[in-house]
Structure 1
Amino acid sequence: MVPPLVVSLIEFLRNYGLEVEGIFRRSAELNAITRLQERINLGKEIDWINDPEYSGDIQKAVIHASVLLKTFLRSLGEPVMTNANYSKLIEIEDPKNNTEAVRNLIWSLKPANFLLLKTVIQFLTEVAAHSHQNLMTPDNLGVVFGPSTSWPTDQQVPLTQIIHLNNFCAKLITDYEVIFEKQ
């Protein structure tokens, strides 16, 4: 149920990107990402190792793949946490210290959303485990992925809510096993 694009991006990033400094924080040229999206929409696979654009520049390939993963999550018609759950997420007081409420919300997701989120967050735990090299701690990853996994599609997000989304996402990473695994 996890989109094949997400699976292939994570597999590539797991194999080549865990030690790249600033993975998920660095940006790519918009035209390059647009070209990649067009190729993917045509059903073409991206060979991150042998493609002429990336041959000999694995760091560029990693950055482009990481941007593509974030872009995929942001381009969903509805966030993976869903619009219906947005207000419930915001109502969780201090998500970093409220494991049970976070867990209950995650387990209320539809199976496809749960599995996609679980797959992404599990990978982000691996990224965070290499933070001594890539500088991407759970808090840094929360800043990047909080607004990518949950946002209201019908309103602007106030700054205080963005911080809440970031903290919620960081909690998913730091307490992955407690939150996502059956008990």
Structure 2
Amino acid sequence: MSPPRSPPLPNQMFGVPLALLRQRSPDGDPVPVVMKDTISFLSERGLEIEGIFRRSANVTLVKEVQLRYNSGELVSFFEMEDFHLAAVILKTFIRELPEPLLTYQLYNDIVNFATVPSENQAAAMKALVSSLPEENYASLRYLITFLAQVSANSEINKMTNSNLAVVFGPNLLWGRDNAMSLSAIGPINNFTRTLLDQQHLVFE
């Protein structure tokens, strides 16, 4: 484990453990503000944007929005009306968590998930995600429920479950040394795609 660089700033949102964000939340909400802001905007306005999550955003703007969040400012994507910025902020937030949303603890189970017979996969997946800490479970459920909405519009936005899994898989799980072994990417993306396919059974 590398030593922590420095303690998080009082309002810092990016790169901070989910449990700490929840402690700081006025109402103890397990789903972080950044995820709520980006997803509420995208689910209301961005479901029909072609290639959403595939395009990059203005790097300066991304840094600016991160800084605003980390300074404790309110951010409104409805005012900025920038779909790709919201999509990139969501991915960046998840990617910069100190521990992946799916946790190191589940890494081996997920990488080896393909060995689970297909008829048992929904139950196995449900057991795995149910073992997550509450804030991880709530945030994952919030994200996956939204991504199911995105793929329901895939005829317009071109983001099928497979496409979404390729984008989100590496942001949901990586190895402890922060390296992503090439052999693990396929299984992680496959798990993510199956989770999207079966989300109605996993999160009842």
Normalised by the length of structure 2, the TM-score is 0.80
CA distance in 2, matches of 1:4, 1:34: 17
Task: Answer yes or no: is 1:108 the counterpart of 2:137.
Answer: no
Distance in 1 of aligned mates of 2:146 and 2:130: 19
Structure 2, unmatched stretches of 5+, are 1-29
- Aligned partners of 2:178 and 2:149: how far apart in 1? 33
Taking only aligned residues, the RMSD between alpha carbons, in angstroms, comes to 1.6
Determine what percentage of the aligned residue pairs are the same residue.
37
Amino acid at match of 1:118: R
TM-score (norm 1): 0.89
1:78 equivalent to 2:99? Answer yes
What amino acid is aligned across from residue 153 of structure 2 in structure 1? H
Which residue is 2:16 aligned to?
A: none
- Deviations for 1:103-153, whole angstroms, at most 9, x for unmatched residues? 221111111111110000000000000000100000000001111111113
Partner of 1:36: 65
Q: Distance in 1 between matches of 2:167 and 2:178?
A: 20
* SS of structure 2 residue aligned to 1:106: helix
Encode CA deviations 1:159-180: one digit per residue, 9 max, x unaligned: 2310111111111111111111
Query: Is the aligned partner of 1:5 residue 2:26?
Result: no
Q: How many residues align?
A: 173
Please say if residues 170 and 185 of structure 2, whose CA atoms lie closer than 8 Å, have aligned partners that are also in contact: yes
The residue correspondences of 1:113-132 to structure 2 (distance < 5 A) are 113-132=136-155
Q: Which residue of 2 aligns with 1:20?
A: 49
Matched ranges for 1:31-180 at <5 A: 31-50=60-79, 54=80, 58=81, 61-93=82-114, 97=118, 98-154=121-177, 156-180=179-203
Unaligned regions of 5+ residues in structure 1, if any?
none
**Letter of the structure 2 residue corresponding to residue 33 of structure 1:** V
